[in-house]
Structures are given as structure tokens and as C-alpha cells.
Amino acid sequence: MVSDGIEEILTALDPEQREIAEALRGPVSVLAGAGTGKTRAITHRIAYGVRSGAYDPARVLAVTFTRKAAGELQGRLRALGAEGVRAQTFHGAALAQLSHFWPEQVGGAAPQILSGKVAAISQVVESLGKHTSGEALRDIASEIEWRKTSMLSIDGYESVVDERPIPQGFTAEQVIDVQRGYAALLEQRRQIDFEDVLVLLAGMLETEPRVAYQVREQYRFFTVDEFQDVSPLQHALLKLWLGNRDDVCVVGDASQTIYSFAGASSSYLLRFGKEFPNAREIRLERNYRSTEPIVRVANKLMRDRPGALTLRASRPDLANNVPLENSSEPVAGDVVFPTFEWFASEHDEAIAVSGSVAAAIAAGTPASEIAVLYRTNAQSAQFEEALRQRGISVRVHGAQRFFDRADVRKAVMLVRGEAKVNDSRPLFQIVSDVLRSSGWNSKPPESPAQLESWEALNALLSLVDEMPPGAGMREFSEELLARQRAQHEPTLEAVTLSAIHAAKGLEWSLVHVAGMSEGVLPIAHATDEAGISEERRLCYVAFTRARDVLRLSGVAGTTRSGRTPSRFITEAGIVG
């Protein structure tokens, strides 16, 4: 008999989500479209398994792809009463295991992890008598990552190098020479890179039965989010973690596979039923995020594509606002259709987008609920400048991380110091006094330079509202520390600028997708069907970040480099 408290975990779910939560044993494949509540479903599944006694929380491993996502997953599980469950990235889990077993299996401490490949590759390139651009060095770094995640030796890579993109200024033979030199340099320094962490752990699990036994004793139940993005190396590691068991739940959406260039493949998600013939497949297609017009253009964009799900707009607040199929006008309840605008230059586009953002803020949309998305990071500067000129605060997603800011680090240190003092005042008052000592006050400054720091400290203060009733400074300090370790950032009251890749998993009320031009999105180097398909999926990810309003724009460019609107505008049936 399930207790009332545990039953509440299930009653909060829709029928398909509940089916997932109750499928606690054996292989489970969840095909989850954008905005369908997949994280809600898998966290409730884990919590239900823990609280019903089906899972020992210490033997559960939830794996995702970013530290931020892992931190959020851990936070949700704590809130659902599933303390003790480990949520980590593939690399985080692998590094912990490798560091634990290395001393006894190899001897001494594990090798130092290289902080970044580019400097080491540059040294190798110079030793070969070449000089090249930073972009070419990054391209070689990407090739090294692709090779390792594809589980190819350098000799194996040599057999397929003619099918790979060759960095500008290099021949295929030179790329191979650089890779050999890079491997030799790391061995000489006794260093490994992030891909090596997975390679070395996989090798240890394959060759050391005692290590494999201990890992499999530690972890019995697995959940893997974003399974469409696993590489051959990550898939192989998961199989080694499982051994001959099949208690694994994978979750993903083939339409959101946007890391093929890094070795990711949706084939493992789509073939999961063949790999585990007794697998249970459950689909999540009720989109709770976006309005019906946004859902419709997303469906049109991906229609008949491999693995594509058909989303159904299911927002409770808009249940009665179903627009006419061919209408392009706003409908009841302020539901608006996606629009497309065409500009003569990047400057004109940035001015228009900033004006639209300013109008939305003036009409009551919080800045934190607005995003401008683009294909490449180089596109951000125009929008950042145009928005700042209007006095609008901007957060460039993927730039300096929140908890790495000097003002934030200082504030967290002061909070942790204050937590050691016995102070009976309300939590909000104590924290606000601590932040005042760092320069914060209740009134935002007028200076744009000072405003950014004020907003960062104000975001820390806003976390007090998320603490449970009765929490004190010690609990708040521990929450900050947990967030800092997981890079689980608070919400900043600023407009987000982000490359589409970095925006995956996020959502906003108003989304501008800029640069919807041929040669930009899809990007110029996507020339074959596989490349165009990847760009289409990237566009789908961009569209489905929007909850209420989706606005698209593109640029004609100069006469010499004139562009036409992106083919994805027509495919999605968007009216200009």
C-alpha cells in the first residue's frame, strides 16, 4: 500500500508521465518532445522508486550532459525527498571512479587533467614548423574530441580522415601528425584530456573484473537524460556500468540531436528497443511550454524526419485559444503567431530587435523572460551593443559563469562566514545586510557598469525566497555551496543573449531568433543532407525555446555577399 505522501508524487503527473514514474524496473525508453515535462517525469520516477522502497538511493545514478543540468536534477530530487541519489555528468561520474581506482590499480595519483587542448595543440603545431590561426587550432581540437568519442585510434582515424573536415591551412597528413604529437606531449607531461577520462575508465572496467564488480555493486539503477546526444564512447561506458543488467531508463528526442559534429548519435535512442528487446517505450508529446502556433511551426519543420514526435499544445492557460490553421493574426488570449522580418544589414536587425525587446519590457515582460538566439557567438556583439544603448541589462549565456564572478565569490564567502555566527534575525535581513557590505542596496544604480554587479548580488538575495520556511543561514550557506559546485545559477534580471547550442534545455516567454538567412542558419559549411538536417534540428531547438512569442529575423547582407531568407522559414510555414 503506497502512503499518501508518496502517492502525491504520482498525482502531480499526466497519464504518460505517471506511466514513466511507475515503470521502475527493466529497460525504459522515453521519447520526449520539447516542453513535454521530461525532467519532471524522470525526477518523479526516481523519487517514487526511492520513497516506495524499490530503489536504494545510494545505488541510483542519474546521468546528464552538463553540470548545470546535473545540479538542477539534484535539486529537484532533494525537493521530492530523494536524498542520497547521485546526479552527475558522464565525465563527472567517470572522473570520480577513475580517481578512486587509479591508486590501487595503477599506483600514485591519477594523471592531471588538461584544462584546454588549444595551447597544447599550438605547441605541437609550432614544433612542426607551422603557424596558424586560433580557429584552425580549435578545429583540430574538435577533431581530436570527435576521434576519441568515436572510439577511434589515430590509425583508425587515418582510415577515415578523407571523409572529415580538414582545418584551413592543413593537409590530412598534417592533421594526423598533429594528433600524434598531441598524444606524445600529453604522455610526456603525464596529462590526460576530458575524453581520456572516459577512455581510461572504460579500459579499466573492461580489463579489471574487480573494478567492474565494485562499480556495479555501487550503482544498480541508471537514468540517462538527453540520450540522443550520447557518443559511441559514452554508450560503451554505460554498457560497462550496466554489465548484464538492464535497469536503465533513457530519455531523449531525436529532433534535438545537435551535437553530431562532436560524435553524438540519436541512433542509440532510436535503436534502444533492438538493444533491449524487452524495453518499454513511452512517448511524451503533450507540450506544456509553447502556444499552439509555436508548436505548429515546430511540427511542420520536423515533419516526416527520422524519430520526429508530433507535439500537441497542452498549456492549461490556453486550452480554449485554438487558432485557425491559416490565420496569421493574433487570436483570443493574446496568442500570437511566429513572425519573420527581413533587414538590409546586421545593424538594422539589431536595432529592430532591441526595439522589440524594449517594447516587451515596457509592456510588462520581465527582462529575464526574453532571449535573443543566434547560430554563432560572433553574432552577439551587435545585439549586446544595441540593447545596452537602450539601458537594457544583458547576460551573454556561455560567457563568464555566475559563480566565477569576483563579486559573487566574495559575497558567497561572506555568507559562509556569517553562517558561523549565531544570529536569530530573519534570513532575508541577515543576507541583505551581508550583501550591503559588498556594495548592494535596495535601489538599482543608474550606471550600466555598476548595474551588472548589482543584479548579480540581487540574484543571490532572490534565492532566499526559494528556501524552505524556517531555514537559517547555515542552510542558505549550504545551498549556495551546492549551487556553486553544480554551477546552478540563479535567475538574473537581464535579457539573455545565447548561441542556440547553449540555449538547449532553457526557455523564455519571448524569443528572437536572429540571422535566419541562408549561409547563417543553415550555416554555410552545411552542404550535404546530413549537415542540413543537423541545422534543421538546431532551428527546431531554437523555435521550441519560446513559450508565448517567437520572432524571427534575417539579413540580406551586402551586394557582394547577398543572402536569401533561410529555407527553414518556408518549411515551417511562417508568414513574414
Q: Both 318 and 382 in a single domain?
A: yes
Residue 324 confidence (pLDDT) above 50: no
* Domain end position, chosen among 454, 486, 518: 486
With bands split at pLDDT 50, 70 and 90, how would you rate the model's confidence at 327?
very low
Distance CA 137, CA 126 (A): 11
Please tell me whether residues 382 and 472 are part of one structural domain: no
Q: Is 164 helix (H, G, I), strand (E, B) or coil?
A: coil
Residue 549: the pLDDT is: 95
pLDDT in tens, 403-458: 778 888 888 888 888 888 888 888 888 888 888 888 888 777 766 556 667 777 88
Instruction: Tell me whether residue 381 is in a domain.
Output: yes
For residues 456 and 167, the model is more confident at 167
CATH classification of the domain holding 188: 1.10.10
Q: What is the pLDDT of residue 319?
A: 54
* Pair (184, 203) in one structural domain: no
Whether residue 384 is predicted with pLDDT greater than 60 in this model: the reply is yes
What total number of domains does the chain contain?
Answer: 4
* Residues 87 and 213 both lie in one domain: yes
Sign for the pseudo-dihedral over CA of 258, 516, 402, 69? negative
Is there a binding annotation on residue 339? no
* Res 485 pLDDT > 90: no
Q: How many CB atoms lie within 10 A of CB 369?
A: 21
- Judge whether residue 400 has pLDDT over 70: no
Same domain? 173 vs 256: no
Please tell me whether 34 is known to bind a ligand.
yes
Checking if the pLDDT of 533 tops 90, the result is yes
Judge contact between 61 and 167, C-beta under 8 A. Answer: no
- Alpha-carbon distance 39 to 73, whole Å? 8
C-alpha cell at 217: 555493486
**pLDDT for the residue numbered 561:** 59
Helix and strand numbers, DSSP H then E, in the chain: 24, 16
Residue 574: Cβ within 10 Å count = 23
| CA angle centred on 572, ends 501 and 538, rounded to 5° | 10
Average pLDDT, integer, range 343-355: 93
pLDDT of residue 47: 94
For the chain, the distance separating the N- and C-terminal CA atoms, rounded to the nearest angstrom, is 57
| Pairwise CA distance, residues 553 & 392, whole Å | 20
Does 66 show up as a binding residue in the annotation?
no
> How far is 322 from 328, CA to CA, in rounded Å?
13
pLDDT of residue 321: 46
- Is there a domain that residue 102 lies in? no
The band of 576, judged by pLDDT with boundaries at 50, 70 and 90, is low
The mean-pLDDT minimum among 11-20, 230-239, 445-454, 550-559 falls in 445-454
Has residue 103 been placed in a domain? no
pLDDT for residue 320 is more than 70: no
Q: Establish whether 564 is an annotated binding residue.
A: no
What integer pLDDT is reported at residue 69 of this predicted model?
A: 85
Beta-bridged to residue 61, according to DSSP, are 86, 222
Q: What is the largest CA-CA distance in the chain?
A: 73
Give residue 534's pLDDT band: very low, low, confident or very high (50, 70, 90).
very high
Q: Is 315 a member of any domain?
A: yes
466, 469, 473, 476: CA torsion to nearest 10 = -30
305 contacts: CB under 8 Å, gap ≥ 6: 254, 255, 533, 536
| Same-domain check for residues 407 and 336 | no
- Nearest C-alpha neighbor of 62 from the set 31, 35, 103, 92: 92
Dihedral angle of Cα 321, 323, 324, 326, to the nearest 10 degrees:
180
Q: What is the mean pLDDT of the chain?
A: 88
Q: What's the confidence (pLDDT) of residue 425? A: 87
Asked whether the beta carbons of 68 and 486 are under 8 A apart, the reply is: yes
CATH number of residue 387's parent domain: 3.40.50.300
Tell me, yes or no, whether 178 and 274 share the same domain: no
User: Quick one: 156 and 202 in the same domain?
Assistant: no
| pLDDT exceeds 60 at position 557 | yes
**Contact indicator for 488, 245 with CB cutoff of 8 Å:** no
Same domain, 408 and 512: no
More confident residue, 171 or 452: 171
Is 205 in the same domain as 241? yes
Mean pLDDT is lowest, of 210-224, 303-317, 528-542, for 303-317
546 is in an annotated binding site: no
**At which residue does the C-alpha cell 536572429 appear?**
514
pLDDT in tens, 103-115: 988 888 888 999 8
Are 89 and 212 contained in the same domain? yes
Task: Calculate the alpha carbon distances from 72 to 75, 76, 266, 413 in Å.
Answer: 5, 6, 24, 22
Is pLDDT above 80 for 575?
A: no
Domain span including residue 431: 402-486
Domain-terminating residue out of 244, 267, 284: 284
Give the gyration radius of the chain's Cα atoms: 25
Please write the tens of the pLDDT for every residue from 72-131: 888 889 888 888 899 999 999 999 999 999 998 888 888 899 988 999 999 999 998 888
Is 378 labeled as ligand-binding? no
Beta bridge partners of 498: 373
Q: Which pLDDT does position 436 carry in this prediction?
A: 87
